[in-house]
Structure 1
Amino acid sequence: MESQTKQRGYFVEFLRKSYLEPLGLKVPFRQNLLGFLDFSIWILWIHLSFGLSIEVQVLLLCQNKHSRDFYVIMEKQSSFRSPTMEKQQSFRGGVMEKQKSFRGLMEKQKSFRIAMERQISFGGERKRSKDSPGKRGDSPLHLAARAGNMGKVKEIFQKFENINNGIKDLLSNKNQEGETPLYVAAENGHASIVGEFLKHSDVDTASIAANNGFDPFHVAVKQGHIDVLKELLRFFPNLVMTTDSTNSTALHTAAAQGHIDVVNLLLDTDSNLAKIAKNNGKTVLHTAARMGHLEAVKSLLNKDPNIGSWTDRKGQTALHMAVKGQNVEIVRELIKPDPSVLGLEDNKGNTALHIAIKKGRTQIVQCLLTAEGIDVNATNSAGETPLDIAEKLETPEIAAILREVGAIHSKDHGKPHSAAKQLKQTVSDIKHDVQSQLQQSRQTGFRVRKIAKKVKKLHIEGLNNAINSATVVAVLIATVAFAAIFTVPGQYVEEKEEGASLGQAHIAKSAAFIIFFLFDSFALFISLAVVVVQTSVVVIEQKAKKQLMFVINKLMWSACLFISISFISLTYIVVGSQERWLAIYATVIGGTIMLTTIGSMCYCVIRHRLEDKRMRNIRKNSTLSRSFSMSMASDPEMYSERYKRMYAV
């Protein structure tokens, strides 16, 4: 990528220094590199090929968009028009004949340019038509209002001014989102368009709400368009008192958004707005304090300092709301008009100090403790002092601050608590402990289930590997058993003899060969049976897969035992009667190894079966499945019995 960039830079420098600068063209190629390349290549190619003048070159190359944009930049330079044209005079003498021959080409280029302009115009119209009813279902008046196009608005009004209620119907028309043209203009802050609409509207039209519940006045407040609000209030001052379904006024919206200019405008229009509460009892001061808008809080308190003591349905004041946030200055402003607000309690008996400690607001706690008249040992309905809450929530920094100002626990309080408060405190402590234990139990159960899921996955993978390995071993045993019958020692009968047939083994009548033949056949057909089962049966359930593995393993044990007997019996023929001790040695070694291995595996299988039976009895005797599952999660011995690292099937 770097090499390509360097090559492009060298090419640009070559064109600029070798060709364009001698013509007097000062090219701002750093501003429009793509246009510069197109522009330079076109000039170079046309000039060298046909010797056309700079005017013809420009006309031809401007069919390209990047070159056309670049030409606009170059045309602003004086060096492009005068010095360049003068230097071009030297080229004209030799190329006049070529220019005449290209007049036809000029006419074609002119028609091509017209076609291109029409195409661009068509593309623009098509783009505009895509916007017109569009996804929102906007009418032409909606589009004009959204774009702030006053000329288009007046043009539409002129078409409907002679129709009875025509303009009013246009202004009442909604798009798919329930927005009127007035709503669209107010939302986008086009005050002049709003004023024009209001000349033809009544208060009902101006109050039409969209699907989101906002009317033009409220949406202008939300967006903070002060000029639009002034226009609306100039025509219909009563809009300031409109409310939504939650009884929220426009002042609530302005305070929530922090638009201080809008807040001041609405308060100047009607100061009683500050006293209107929503359905939940919260005033505008509650909203501004909770959202942390200091200037809005100051403006509201300047209009009516008494609203600081107003409470909502939870019994909380604006100070209760402010301490939930992190703006210390708002807390100070709320305390200034009436410090007694510090002692006001909500429905649960919590003061602002209790709430601040519960939220962990250290700076606000310090601010409250510096105020005069603060009771650092006030108790709530649960009998908790601020220090009790700080220690219960494990906030040592706040607890240390409280101790420095003399805070104490409720049990050390001089005033004896009533029996009801003590009982409530006890219930609260028990509830807290139970919730903590339940949370720990849920976390432990989640971890146990996660571990069990991983162990189960490993268990299934182990079963699958064992089954696949059994298939491979079965194929190997079948191959060995099949080949062994055709490679017996002593060769075969090649000539017809009495008492023997052609192809018969010379040792066919010996007892050792008969034993070899029988057990080799058993090993062959048992292995083939395992292969048939493995290639025919598909098992999904884990329990069924274990049962299948149990059967296959026992068959494979038998096949291994039979192929071992076949080998030992064949050794008695191979070594002969003179070296019979070698065959006996092979019998002892092979028998010891095979019997010990199979015996150990049988012991493991029997032990696993007994343990599994014991687990089933425990589950059967358990009366509550939930208590059993909890004991399983908490008893590591039982858990380890259920999922062994290794067991025999």
Structure 2
Amino acid sequence: MPPLALAAYIGNFDAVRCLLDKCSNDAYRQDTNGFFPIHIASRNGNIKIVQEFLNHCPDLKELHDKQGRNILHVAAAYGRAKLVEYMLGTTKLEMLLNERDNFGNTPLHVAVQNWHPRIVKILTRDKRVHQKILNNKGMTAFDIAEKSEKLTLMALRLANAPRSEIQRVAKESGANDYGEKTKNNPDYLLFSRENMNTLLIVSTLVAAITFAAGFTVPGGYKNSGTDEGMATLRNTALFQIFLICNTISMYSSITVAIALIWAQAGDLKMICVAVRTILPMLGLALIMMSVAFLAGVDLVANNLTCGYVVVALGSFFIVQVVVFILPLTIPLSSKNCITHFILRGNLRLLMMVTRYEVESG
């Protein structure tokens, strides 16, 4: 590795400055991986060193590695969010925003391919980034994201990123024609037999738990008197909340299980219906089961000193359940501004939890 490339790799700013003053020609030497020193600095997310390279040799921004990637491509590929923001804010680097590599991928394509939702969010906020550009496979960044992980797809959908025309037609054909074309529909592919089996197990467990809870109610039953066999706490508000939420949870999970059984039979129409309804119904069942549990626990712990702690903990975790379930249950294609506001906040929270909001190390 050339000395300048090594200095850029270890992030030694003083060494980079000194070497650039004495032998700036080394800035144009590639290493064995096809990286120029400025690409190495970009890969490591070192803004100061990238600035120093560009101050000494402004034309370095035009260099490409062996894959045809510029420094913005590299920063996007390695999740260097602060460096990407710096490049977007530098007018002299505007030419890099929509540049394509040897595979036709823009920095946005590359960010999606490497599962960096934070980079995707930063790039799609900039109106100069063209989201309709197709790579050599005829795919937009959104087309790639449909086969990628959920948060990246969520970030693109909230930015109203478009599909390619070919993918759009295929999607519409798959949604309206329940023949062989449906099997090319990305939503259909999400519901593989393994995924459906997992969801069926979850829905069956929820149904079993809520069924049992309906007959082992909190507080038990009266053993004598005219109300023998009736629930002891039936007149309390919390008990009624418990019953309502438990009932909703049970029947939602049963509905999901039945739909999945039909889907297992290979009914393509049922699979397309399942895509639109199963996850929201299952999400509702899990949320209602959580609320029913909290209401039941609060009933029996009402007079205990730890009652408030139990309610606080339960409420905190129910909020967490809602945060994690919402992206799976709310249609991301919705144009409703309130839904968009909720999902944007939800996306930010999920990226913080999954540490996508933290600069890659």
User: Could you tell me the TM-score, scaled by structure 1's length?
Assistant: 0.27
Higher fraction of helix: 1
- Structure with the larger RCO, 1 or 2 (CA within 8 Å, 6+ apart): 2
User: Could you tell me the TM-score, scaled by structure 2's length?
Assistant: 0.47
